[in-house]
Amino acid sequence: MLGLLAGIFVLARILYAIFYKSYIWETKSSGFDFALSNLRANQRNAYLEHAQTAFRILGNTWTTRSLGTSMIESIEPENLKAVFHADFPTWQQGNFRIKTFRPLLGYGILSANGRAWEHSRALIKSAFKSYTADSTIYEKHIQNLVASLPRSSAEVVDLQPYFLRLTMDISTDVLFGTSVFSLLPGSADFADAYEIVKDNIFKDMQVYPLGWLRDHREARAATKVVHDFVDGFIEKALASADAINEEEDQGRRYKFLRQMATELEDRTKLRMELLSLLLAGRDTTAALVSNMLYILAQREDIRRKVQAEVASLSGRFPRIDDLKRLQYLNCTVKESLRLHPVTPINSRTAATDTTLPTGGGVSGTSPVFVPAGTQFVTSVHALHRREDLWGPDAAAFKPERWANNTPAPWHYMPFLGGPRQCPGQGLALNITLFTVARLLQIYEDILPARSEPWQGAIAVTCWNANGAKVRLVPKDRT
């Protein structure tokens, strides 16, 4: 009898899905099945494809539940504009983000909403405004990177962990005025502790809201190490501010941190904002640089074009102004961020009852009512691969598509958009363009290790599970 009832239920669900497919798709389950299927896909490094398939089958907007939370998933530009821009005050960073980030970042920009966020945002905006990008800072760390890489083209090297150290060294140099020099031997204390803390955030996210059941002793100790380090950097920067003249080299070096310190007396809050910037910027930039080197090694046609363009610099290292002029390289970075966005999933929670402009009704284009507490989730990965927005070749890596082409608003959002758009976009692009150009200048060639597919592994940032494995051919091959 029970089997018969279950059979009728399943049949009814299938008929419902077939005949009412144009209605917003909905499941009445508690969402354990949904959460489990996501977890399983993630374990296989196939979460992004899993989500993309769901949009293909269920449409561009659909609702579900995950572990008891109501969710609405959408890759409709109109809905993205509403959530991230037009109806911005309603859609907040949810507890998922806030509670998992808070032990490391307190009430810093990444884990704040409302007035607290506005304050953080203004502070960071003014620090970026006062800061002048200078590629000589990057060059110093590129030299340390190259010194630590294998010298023989016979050796396969996965560049991903090296780029993590590179971006750690550049980020701390720019933000704190003092690099942690994790690429140099014997100076990895801060970087090691930071890795433990970051890993802990990701593990808490995976099991949210059950993170409190995990053992946090190691993470707590590592958090203290990270906090003490940053406090030390702050003291050093502020002490030097008293001792030296603004015009001197030291004054320029600490510009970012000191600008923030002049507007923020609370030293704990200052530490949290600096760490928020590090968390937001370091891994993301490393992932982008890794993706770039992966694709350049795999695709000789693209590599040759970028090499030819970089050759126009006649071997001198690029100044910031030169970077924008490397047009084909810029197109390749945009294409990398389209097919492999490093923050491919984004979410918000509705603070009050609201509506989304599209995705409901029989036509699938009517507004959708959204009760307070609903989580909105988007897949930037799936959005960037929609054939109706990007053409039938949407899945192909083609930097040429960017020549004289600006995407429509909310069709392309690797740095998000609206009031919470990434404030570090310029810095991230400068570091990426510089690193790629320099490696192509320094090495005779960068060859693929083997032909492995790009596979998204999602942690706090999205990585290629197969790494960025290459063989570096030195100029003076012996």
Residue 167 CB, shortest distance to ligand HEM, in Å, is 8
Q: Name the helix (H) or strand (E) containing 369.
A: strand 366-370
63 versus 285: smaller Cβ distance to ligand HEM: 285
Please tell me whether 462 is known to bind a ligand: no
Indicate whether 344 belongs to the interface with ligand HEM (CB under 6 A): no
Quote the Cα angle for 143-149-150, to 5°: 140
Segment 70 to 109, residues that bind ligand HEM, using CB under 6 A? 109
Q: What number of chain residues touch ligand HEM (CB under 6 A)?
A: 23
Contact 142, 166 (CB under 8 A): yes
| Backbone angles phi and psi of 395, in degrees to 5 | -80, -10
- The CA radius of gyration of the chain, in Å to the nearest whole number, is 24
Segment 98 to 157, residues that bind ligand HEM, using CB under 6 A? 109-110, 121, 124
User: Which residue stretch of 3-11, 132-140, 359-367, 424-432 sits at the interface with ligand HEM (rule: CB under 6 A)?
Assistant: 424-432
66 versus 153: smaller Cβ distance to ligand HEM: 66
User: Which residue stretch of 54-62, 232-240, 341-349, 357-365 sits at the interface with ligand HEM (rule: CB under 6 A)?
Assistant: 341-349
Distance (Å, rounded) from C-alpha 302 to C-alpha 335?
12
Q: Which position among 318, 424, 448, 456 is part of the footprint of ligand HEM (CB under 6 A)?
A: 424
User: Which residue stretch of 201-209, 219-227, 240-248, 275-283 sits at the interface with ligand HEM (rule: CB under 6 A)?
Assistant: 275-283
Per-residue buried b or exposed e for 148-169, using 16+ beta carbons within 10 Å of the residue's own CB:
ebeeebeeebbbbebbbbbbbb
Q: Which pair of tokens denotes residue 113?
A: 């909403």
Q: Which position among 38, 42, 126, 346 is part of the footprint of ligand HEM (CB under 6 A)?
A: 346
Q: In the Cβ-directed half-sphere of 415, how many Cα atoms lie within 13 Å?
A: 15
Segment 278 to 337, residues that bind ligand HEM, using CB under 6 A? 280-281, 284-285, 288
Partners of residue 375 on adjacent β-strands: 71, 349
| Backbone angles phi and psi of 373, in degrees to 5 | 95, -10
54 versus 289: smaller Cβ distance to ligand HEM: 289
User: Which residue stretch of 134-142, 300-308, 383-391, 411-419 sits at the interface with ligand HEM (rule: CB under 6 A)?
Assistant: 411-419
Distance (Å, rounded) from C-alpha 428 to C-alpha 27?
40
424 versus 467: smaller Cβ distance to ligand HEM: 424
Contact 55, 48 (CB under 8 A): no
Contact 332, 295 (CB under 8 A): yes
Question: Hey, how many other C-beta atoms are within 10 angstroms of the C-beta on 251?
Answer: 15
By CB neighbour count within 10 A (0-12 exposed, 13-18 middle, 19+ buried), where does 438 fall? buried
User: Which residue stretch of 185-193, 200-208, 222-230, 415-423 sits at the interface with ligand HEM (rule: CB under 6 A)?
Assistant: 415-423
Residue 89 CB, shortest distance to ligand HEM, in Å, is 14
Binding site for ligand HEM (CB under 6 A): 109-110, 121, 124, 276-277, 280-281, 284-285, 288, 342-343, 346, 414-416, 420, 422-424, 427-428
**What are the binding residues for heme?**
422
